[in-house]
Amino acid sequence: MKFEKKSLKFLEKYLNTSSPTGYEHDGQKVWMDYITPYVDKVEVDHYGTCYGIINPEAEFKVVIEAHADEISWYVNYITDDGLIYVIRNGGSDQTIAPSKVVHIHGEKGIVKGVFGWPAIHTRSANQNEPTPKIDNIFIDCGAISKQEVEDLGIFVGCMITYPDEFFEMNDRYFVCRALDNRIGGFMIAEVARLLKENKKQIPFGLYITNSVQEEVGLYGADMIADTIKPNIAIVTDVTHDTTTPMIEKKKEGDQKCGDGPVVFFAPSVHHTIRELIIDTAKTKKIPFQRAAASRATGTDTDAFAHSNGGVPSALISLPLRYMHTTVEMVSKEDVGNVIQLIYETLLKIKPEMKLKYH
C-alpha cells in the first residue's frame, strides 16, 4: 500500500506532537482535525478520548480502536541545588534516560533539560558501577537552585517528554518515539479515509476510537467502552519484533517486522471475530502472523472485552522494534497491511452475525 502525501504529513505532525498520558489533548486535536472529513460526527469524552462516528444513528455498533498516549516522566522532587528527580508516567525506561535531552512542560512553556550521568572516567574505577535507576537518574535544566527551577515555571507534577522526532529509515521503516501507539491512531484514521474515499456503505455504526491513558492501566478504553457500548471491538496496538538481539522467543513468541500484522490468540479475544480477521487475511492475500497471550493481552482489547457484560473483541498488532525507547521502529509495509486488514474485515461484518459460541 502506497501512502498518500497528506497521510504521511498527518503521521509526521501527529507523532511529533507530545501526548503524554493524561495530557493527550494536543495530539488528539491533530487527530480530530484529520479524521473529521471522513466521518459523520466527532465526539470527545471528559478525559480526552476522541472518536469519529460513521452512521451514528445505527443500533449495531463496531469500534476500531487505538490508544493516543505516550510514556513520559513527572517532576517528582526538586533539590536545593536545582536538580530534578522524576517518577514514571507509564512504562518509561530508566536505562535509556542518561544523556537524553528532554522537554519539561512548565507553566511558562517548554524548558529544555538533560538527563545527567557521571562520566565514564569517574565510574570505571568503581567495581559497583552504577546502573540507571529511578532513584539515581536526574534532570539538569541549567538552574543552580530550587528557586531558579521554579522561576522557569517548573514545579512538581510538570510533565517531561522526549523531543525525538519522526523519520523514515532505508525506505523500509518509520522511526519515532511514541509509535506505541500513535501509529495505531494513524492506521484507524486511514481506515476511515479509505471507507470515505472508496464510497463504501457499511450496515452498522462505526466508532473510530482513539483512547487515552492506556499506558497506565487501559483506563481510557475502560471509560469509553461504557459510553459507546459497542457490539464488536477490533483493537490495534503494537507488539514486539522478537528477532533483534537479547529477546527470548520461547518467552516472547516469534514476530518480525515486515512479515505482516499479528493476530492474537488470548482468552479476551473472541473466536468469531478472530476467525473473521484470519479468513479475511487469507482471502485478500494479506500476510499475517500469529501470537498468543496467556492471562491478558495487556492492551485495550482486555478493557473492551470485559466491559458491558462482555463485548466480542479482537486484537490486530503491529510488530515493533525497541518498544518504549525513542527509536521505536515499524515496517511501512506492515502498517499498510494492518490498515488493509482492518478495512477488509469491516466490509465483512454484518449486524446479524452470530456472536455467541453456542
User: Which residues line the annotated binding site for Zn(2+)?
Assistant: 67, 180, 215, 237, 324
Q: Are strands 159-161 and 328-331 parallel, antiparallel or unpaired?
A: unpaired
Q: Which three cell numbers stand for residue 142?
A: 541549567
190 is catalytic: no
Residues 6 or more apart whose Cβ sits within 8 Å of residue 285:
none
Strands (E), 11-71: 41-44, 50-54, 61-67
Considering 24, 65, 70, 214, which one is annotated as catalytic?
A: 214
Q: Residue 55: which region, alpha, beta or left (left: phi > 0; alpha: psi -120 to 50)?
A: left
Half-sphere exposure of 87 (CA within 13 A, CB side): 6
H-state helical runs in 203-331: 219-228, 249-252, 271-283, 300-305
**Crossing angle (nearest 10°) for helices 271-283 and 332-346:** 110
Would you list which residues are annotated within the binding site? 67, 180, 215, 237, 324
Residue 76 burial (C-beta neighbours within 10 Å; 0-12, 13-18, 19+)? middle
What is the C-alpha to C-alpha distance for residues 284 and 341, in angstroms, rounded to an integer?
8
Q: Which residues are catalytic?
A: 214
